[in-house]
Amino acid sequence: MTTADVVIIGGGIVGSSVAYHLAAAGCTNVLVIEREKQQGLGSTGKSMGGVRAQFGTDVNIRMSLHSIPFLRDFEQIMGRPSGYRGHGYVFVATSERHREYLRSNIERQRQAGLAGVELLAAEDVVQMAPHLRADDIVGGSFCPTDGFVDPYLVMTGFMERAVELGARLWRAVEVTGIEREGDRVAGVETTGGRVATRMLVNAAGAWAAGVAGLAGVVLPVVPLRRMLVPTEPFPGFPERLPMTIDMGTGFHFRREGLGLLLAWADPQETPGFQTNFDPEFVEKILTRAVERVPAFERLEVNPKRGWAGLYEVTPDHHAILGPAPGVAGFYLANGFSGHGVMHSPATGRVLADWILHGEPRLLDARPLGAGRFAEGRLLEESAVL
C-alpha cells in the first residue's frame, strides 16, 4: 500500500502549483494523481493564457498581485520559462455604466496596491488601439503588467520542480473512491491501488464536483464550454498588442504568433462536458470581431484550427479555496471560472499554507471558502471573460 502526507487529485496547473508549494515548504511526501497519460489535457492546455489584475473584488485583485510577479519572474524562481509577456489589457468602455464600473474598480485596485493601472479617456483608447471602431467608445482602462503566459510551460515548470524536490506524479491513474474515518480523510482508492493519506486536495478542474462527491461533499462547480479561434497570419498589427476587451459584447483578442487569437463567451452555451469545437461558432465570433475592428473583414480563419476547453464555473464566478465542509483533511482548489491559470501561483501558496499551518498566510482567502454558498455570502465579480 502506498502512503503520502498529501494526495492531490488532478495534475493540471493548479494541482502542479499546490504540489510545488508544498514541496518547497518542506512537505515532500506529496503524490499527484493524474488520470490522463499526460498532463494538460484538461482545461490547462486549452487556456488562452491571459493574466490580469484588473478585477472587481479585493480577493481576486490580491490573488493577481501575488501571481503576476511570480509568473513574470518564473524563470528566476523555478529555473524554467513561463512565456510571460507584459503586453497589458485594455478594457474598452462603450457606455457610461462601463466607464463608471472601470473607475470604481481602479480605485479598489489601487487601494490593494496595483501600480500603473489607469483610467483612459476615449481619445486615449483610440490612440492606444487605432484599429478599433471608435464612434461609441467613451473610455477604458489599461494595466501594463497584465498580459499572457504559456499555461503548459507554467504547469510543467511547477510539476518538474516539485518532483525534483521529492513529490511524485502518477499518470493514467484514476481516483475511484475517497475513504473516510468518521469525519476525516483516511485514503483514496485508485486504479493503481489504495493510497493512505490524511490530507487530500481536490484540484480536478471541471470534474471537481464528481471528485468531491466521492467524499460526500456537494460542490457547486459545473463545466462550461469556451471556444477559441486562432486566425491565419494578419500583418499590420503591433507585436506588443494588448489583450483588447470590448465590454459591450465581451469579444476580446490578442496576438498569437503571426496572427490573432479570438475569444467570446457564447451566452447560448449550457453546462456540460462538451469539448468539441462547433464550426458555426466562427461566424458568430467574426460578427462581433468585425463590429469592433473593421479591418477584421480581411481575417482568414480555418475552423479546423479552433479548439474548445472547459471553464469550471461557480455560482458567483469565484474560486472555492480551503477546507471542505464536514470532512477534515479534505481541501478544495476549484471553480476558478476561467482564472485558474493566472491565479495558480497564489492558489498553490494559499493551499500549502492552509495544509501546513492551518490558515492562508499569503492573503485572506477566507471569502473564497465553500461555506459561502450555504451562508449566502456570494461574491460579485462581473469582470469575467
Q: State the average pLDDT over residues 65-93.
A: 97
Q: What is the number of alpha carbons within 13 Å of residue 61 lying toward its C-beta?
A: 20
| Residue reference for cell 472555492 | 320
pLDDT digits (tens, 9 = 90+) for 182-195: 999 999 999 999 99
Predicted pLDDT of residue 382: 65
pLDDT digits (tens, 9 = 90+) for 133-176: 999 999 999 999 999 999 999 999 999 999 999 999 999 999 99
Predicted pLDDT of residue 380: 80
Q: What is the dihedral of CA 184, 189, 190, 192, to 10 degrees?
A: 120
Mean predicted lDDT score pLDDT of the chain: 96
Confidence of residue 222 (pLDDT cuts 50, 70, 90): very high
Domain boundaries, the chain: 2-49+151-221+315-375, 86-145+223-313
Strands 118-121 and 139-143: antiparallel
CA distance 111 to 105: 10
What class is the 2-49+151-221+315-375 domain?
Answer: alpha beta
pTM: 0.96
Predicted pLDDT of residue 153: 98
Residues 330/200, Cβ–Cβ less than 8 Å: yes
Residue 131 has pLDDT above 80, yes or no: yes
Name which of 22, 6, 9 is nearest 350 in CA terms: 22
Start-end of H helices in the chain: 13-24, 58-72, 74-78, 96-112, 122-128, 151-164, 208-214, 280-292, 344-357, 372-375
Alpha carbon of 178 to those of 36, 165, 189: distances in Å?
19, 26, 6
Predicted pLDDT of residue 239: 87
Other CB atoms closer than 10 Å to residue 123's CB: what's the count?
11
Predicted pLDDT of residue 384: 63
Q: What is the number of alpha carbons within 13 Å of residue 332 lying toward its C-beta?
A: 36
CA distance 106 to 115: 10
Residues 110/180, Cβ–Cβ less than 8 Å: no
What does DSSP assign to residue 356?
A: H
Predicted pLDDT of residue 378: 87
Same fold, 2-49+151-221+315-375 and 86-145+223-313: no
Confidence of residue 385 (pLDDT cuts 50, 70, 90): low
- 3.30.930.10, 3.30.9.10, 3.40.50.2300, 3.40.50.800: CATH of 86-145+223-313: 3.30.9.10
CA distance 278 to 285: 12
Residue 61 has pLDDT above 80, yes or no: yes
pLDDT digits (tens, 9 = 90+) for 236-290: 888 899 999 999 999 999 999 999 999 999 999 999 999 999 999 999 999 999 9
All 3 cell numbers of residue 257? 504568433
